Amino acid sequence: MITRPLELASRLRSEPRNFDWLFFVNAGLLVLFFDLFGSRFVLAPGLNVVLPQMAGARGAATTTTHHISVTRSGLIFVDAGPVSIDELKKWLGDEGKAWQAQASRRNHRPVLLVRASAEVPGGLLAKIVSAADSAGFSVTWAEEEPAANPGGGR
């Protein structure tokens, strides 16, 4: 039985060998882009913060100067990434000093917005409030307005 009647494979040109260097250029560019534009959160799971609901939350909204997020597992996230409670105290101290250095054009205290999940332990929240108060911050809690029609019907 003839499986290759035209013998096309014998008439094809061989693969060029002079483009082997292009693989290394591509790999180097990928490493460069991931290094320059990468983040330590690229492979991390998303930040899941379920805020508590309270009627009138939008009416009591205020302007804040700094913000942190706290997950139910106790992870604290600032702009630079996850921090421990001791690192949060240092971050708040540094931010408070920077705020006071520019106090000539500001006449109020910095305000810290705490976006804490509803299941965050009260002890951790008390530590955050204590650290913020010692750094000169006022604390505001993030809350969501409940849905107007929770049932979704008419």
Checking DSSP bridges between strand 111-116 and strand 138-141, what pairing results, if any? parallel
Domain contains 116: yes
Domain contains 79: yes
Residue span of the structural domain in which 135 resides:
66-141
Give me the number of domains the chain comprises. Answer: 1
Domain contains 113: yes
The predicted pLDDT at position 45 comes to 52
Checking DSSP bridges between strand 111-116 and strand 66-70, what pairing results, if any? parallel
Greater pLDDT, 12 or 2: 12
Greater pLDDT, 41 or 140: 140
Tens digit of each residue's pLDDT (9 = 90 or more) over 76-111: 999 888 899 999 999 999 998 888 888 665 567 889
Q: What are the CA-CA distances from residue 12 to residues 5, 7, 18 (Å)? A: 15, 10, 18
The predicted pLDDT at position 43 comes to 47
Residue with tokens 């942190």: 68
Domain contains 28: no
Contact present, 80 and 71 (Cβ < 8 Å): no
Can you tell me the mean pLDDT for 111-125?
A: 89
What is the domain-level CATH number for residue 114?
Answer: 3.30.420
pTM of the complete model: 0.63
* Rounded distance between C-alpha atoms, residue 60 and residue 96, angstroms: 24
